[in-house]
Amino acid sequence: MTTTTGRLIDPAPPAPEKTAPPTDRRALSVSGLSVAYPRRHGRGAGESVLRGVDLEVTPGQILGVIGETGSGKTTLARAVVGLAPVVGGRIEVAGIDVGGLRKRELRDHRRSGVVQYMFQDPLRSLDPDLTVADLVGEPLAVAGVERAERRARVAEALGRVGLDADALGGRIPAQLSGGQRQRVSLARAIVTRPALLLADEPVSALDASNRNHVLRLLDELRRDLGVAVVVISHDLSSLAGIADRIAVLYRGRLVEQGPTAEVLARPLHPYTALLTASAPRLDRDPAVRRDRPGRSGPVSGEAPAWAGEPGACVFAHRCPLAEADCRTQPGGSPHPGERSAACHHPVTTSADRLARAPRATT
């Protein structure tokens, strides 16, 4: 059962030296987080899904997490709510070490609704038989909130996401449009007045207008309620519209993080550069588009022979800038302006160097 995964964690290791400051100022603090799913057969941890991730989110801040499918974005969010097997590191939500919570404490922590996880697909995460009012009120009902107060808070939460509680409260999810369903999900997540909201690809199934609508709601919520928000998305441009900071994951490693505009406009890590170069834009005419740099990385012959080795930089196999020193995984070295990038050659001109690097053809 999923709730038991939290108990598999070894007692949290002594806090790494850098987490000294008081934690009450941070809604989420993740340090040295590693996650590995157990092997299907035999004992011990299997392949790592996340390795040594450090993150912080303060109240009222939006952190955007980007990366390709399988890069560990979802696992990161699930680890925070205790749905992924953490094998190392420390997770603190509003000052509480959630990795150390056991059975009853974990349940009480969950009932408090301090942290909320918003699933990607509302059709699957909302019970198809329950009405909107019941769905949104469920976290309160679980926590034992009185019926009258529950009704008021459900109406308030629905109102915040722009839904009319009287008109839609009695409907079931199948009777809502895609955008409305996602907003019901959001209402359910904020009804407990959380300190931290984790939204896993909340907009990937929505069209552009609905996507912007939901993202704007997240923006309003952090402003009005001071909730810290972690948004996972693969739509860089719309995410950039609301996120204060961006964290880029690649194969389970945090390869770059920093203020949104800086990270996306002047990437330090070659993978971030590849991401921003791949984002669709309007003004690129077809002839130019096809000459875009670094799309597919080196063709099989070009990648360094050591690129797949365990200690090597995770991006080396696709990186046109890979050199001999990339044989060791670089740490997340800090850069000016609260930025960090896990790259041996983090130059502000890396986008330009990418452009000049030998172009891969498929």
Partner 1 sequence: MRTLRRTGRMPAARVALAVLAVVALLAVLGGVLAPQDPLAQDTTRVLQGPSGAHLLGTDYLGRDVLSRLLAGTGRSVFGAVESVGAAMVLGVVPGLASLWLGRSFEWSALRVVDALMTLPFTLFAIAAVGVFGNGLHQAMLALGVLLAPLFFRVSRAAALGLKQAQYVEAAELMGASRGRILRTHIAAKVLPTIAVTTAHALATALLTVASLTFLGVGVQPPAPTWGGMLASDLGYLAQQPWAPALPGVLIMITVGALNLLADAVRDSGAAQAAEPAAGGSAGGTSTGAPDDVPAARDARERKADERVVTV
Partner 2 sequence: MSVSSPSEAVEAVEAVHSGPGGEPVLTVDGLHITVAGGRAEAVRDVAFTVHAGEAVGVVGESGSGKTLTCRSLLGVLPPGCEVSAGSAVLAGDGGAVTELTALDRRQWERLRGAELGAVFQDPASYLNPALTVGRQLAEPLRVRLGMTRARARERAVELFASVGLREPAQVYHRYPHELSGGMLQRVLIAIAVACDPRLLVADEATTALDTVVQAEVLDLLARLRDERGLALLLVTHDLAVVAEVTDRVLVFYAGEIVEDGPTQDVVHRPAHPYTAALLRVASLGDWNRRELAVIPGRPPEAGQAPPGCRFADRCDFAEDRCRTAPIPLTRTPGGRRVRCVRAAELTPILTAPPEEVPA
Interface positions with partner 2 (CB under 8 A) = 66-70, 177-179, 204, 206-213, 215-216, 219, 234-238, 240-244, 260-261, 264-265, 274-276, 278-287, 289-290, 292, 295-296, 299-300, 362
Asked if 341 and 332 touch (Cβ cutoff 8 Å), the reply is yes
41 binds, among partner 1, partner 2, none (CB under 5 to 8 A by kind): none
Q: What share of the chain is helix, strand, coil (3-state, %, to 5)?
A: 40, 20, 40
Helices 178-190 and 147-160, packing angle to 10 deg: 130
Structure tokens at 67: 């990366």
Per CB under 8 A, the list member of 25, 39, 170, 207 interacting with partner 1 is 207
CB of 101 to partner 1, least distance (A): 11
107 binds, among partner 2, partner 1, none (CB under 5 to 8 A by kind): partner 1
Which single residue is written with the structure tokens 């769905």? 135
Q: How many CB atoms lie within 10 A of CB 83?
A: 15
CB of 310 to partner 1, least distance (A): 32
CB of 190 to partner 1, least distance (A): 13
Q: Which is nearer to partner 1, 2 or 296 (CB)?
A: 2
Q: Which is nearer to partner 1, 18 or 41 (CB)?
A: 41
CB of 122 to partner 1, least distance (A): 8
85 binds, among partner 2, partner 1, none (CB under 5 to 8 A by kind): none
Q: Is 10 left (phi over 0), alpha (psi -120 to 50) or beta?
A: beta
Q: Which is nearer to partner 2, 207 or 309 (CB)?
A: 207
Spatial distance between the Cα atoms of 158 and 298, rounded to a whole number of angstroms = 49
289 binds, among partner 2, partner 1, none (CB under 5 to 8 A by kind): partner 2
- Identify the DSSP state of 240: H
CB of 9 to partner 1, least distance (A): 17
Spatial distance between the Cα atoms of 117 and 56, rounded to a whole number of angstroms = 17
Helices 178-190 and 132-143, packing angle to 10 deg: 20
283 binds, among partner 2, partner 1, none (CB under 5 to 8 A by kind): partner 2
Per CB under 8 A, the list member of 38, 100, 178, 241 interacting with partner 1 is 178
Decide: is 253 part of the binding site for partner 1 (CB under 8 A): no
> Side chain identity at 44, as an amino acid letter?
G
Q: Is 228 left (phi over 0), alpha (psi -120 to 50) or beta?
A: beta
Decide the pairing of beta strands 339-341 and 333-335: antiparallel
276 binds, among partner 1, partner 2, none (CB under 5 to 8 A by kind): partner 2
31 φ/ψ angles, rounded to the nearest 5 degrees: -135, 130
Decide: is 113 part of the binding site for partner 1 (CB under 8 A): yes
Which single residue is written with the structure tokens 């030998």? 358
Q: Which residues bind partner 1 (CB under 8 A)?
A: 1-3, 81, 83, 106-113, 116-117, 119, 121-130, 138-139, 142-143, 171-178, 180, 205-207
